[in-house]
Copies of this chain bind each other. A is one copy, B any other.
């Protein structure tokens, strides 16, 4: 059968459909890959299975066609770096993902074992299914489709997959220092992204920063009978009093100078925020919350959600926490706090302010362990990659995409935007109801497949740019 010659644009269109069809037809294989990936635990906070998971993700990358190396930082698990050169395009897209996951606790709230990766109701249920193994497998599926259909990718792909994102990427700077010269590129795709509560595709252009600290108060060598509470100081009281100086009753941070360097939203950013859909009701329904802090609602809710620095008690513990009653005077009390930061706030400077605050309020004896620090990151609203991501999202999901000036979450994006100079967007295959960081985390399989298509369309359109 003789085929009629086609114009270049027709070829692209036909190829495009072939690629999207290829993603559909290989979806079972990549869902199975995701399940295998999830069954390998990789809890960075507990140093669980990290090297094994780095091996597994390297294997997946090699099988797809990447050249893979593992960078070993001074401490911590390997960072996987993979490259795939294009035979046809000259531009370079950099992917950032992470293979580590959050702890599974409280494990009793999971319907299925957290690493069983059981498929139910069209979802893969597992810790890490959505954050972030789903995105890795979904991107592999997109790249696999290009290779299967065209024998190459339309642009060069560089891919960084680290193993400590969930604990604040403490060794990622070592990797950036060593690989800076090789990490040249034109744009970057961040680890997460997907659909909001209304199934609209989200294009996120920034992240909050993070300062994570652990407090420890010890007032005696050992626990004792609480009859002694009449004369011996209780560290839990001391921790409670110290914490109560950090925020006021509305949640505003009372550490002197905390807000000094905060860069307010630009007028353009405020316009985008105004256009952003309101997550207020979805969060209200999901969490059963009647009122938000300060009575926030509408535009003010959105501005606060995306623009406010936060001070969150992520954990607190002391004494007897089992069932029934025990009359113990504890010797140690501890708390974990995450402070989320906005652009221009420097986590190192703020850690200093926190310590000064403790001294000023008479809590110099409280030990402060700094566990992680990342500044915030922002990509300009008019960056070409932002527009490509939005257009491709509209095309794949047939819904008007939503551009987010920033996420309320955190990560080491500033290395990409500020140090490598890569305009970076967060898009992917997640869904707002995927229980990220919570029990029964899951990955919707339909969004997993559509997310592959979204990435494929972005790669193709990005490659076409001058």
Contact = CB atoms under 8 A, between A and B. Distances in A.
A105 B320 contact: yes
A328 B45 contact: no
A177 interface: no
Contact of A321 (B244, B315, B327, B330): B315
A7 to B, nearest CB: 47
A405 B465 CA distance: 89
Contacts of A12: none
A236 interface: yes
Interface centre among A109, A288, A327, A338 (most CB of B within 10 A): A327
A231 B315 contact: no
Contact of A221 (B286, B306, B321, B371): B286
Given A243-B240, A320-B336, A326-B314, A227 B410 contact: yes
Interface in A188-223: 208, 210, 212, 214, 219-223
A331 B288 CA distance: 10
A372 interface: yes
A249 interface: yes
Contacts of A243: 237, 240
A313 B230 contact: no
B45 A230 contact: no
A92 interface: no
A45 B231 contact: no
Interface string A56-85: 000000000000000000000000000000
26 contacts: A46-B322, A166-B327, A167-B324, A212-B327, A221-B288, A223-B439, A226-B312, A226-B340, A228-B287, A229-B310, A230-B305, A230-B306, A231-B304, A232-B287, A233-B251, A236-B315, A237-B313, A313-B319, A314-B319, A316-B319, A316-B321, A317-B317, A324-B371, A325-B336, A327-B410, A328-B438
Given A45-B324, A47-B324, A224-B286, 9 more contacts: A210-B327, A224-B438, A228-B408, A229-B338, A231-B301, A233-B251, A237-B313, A240-B240, A319-B336
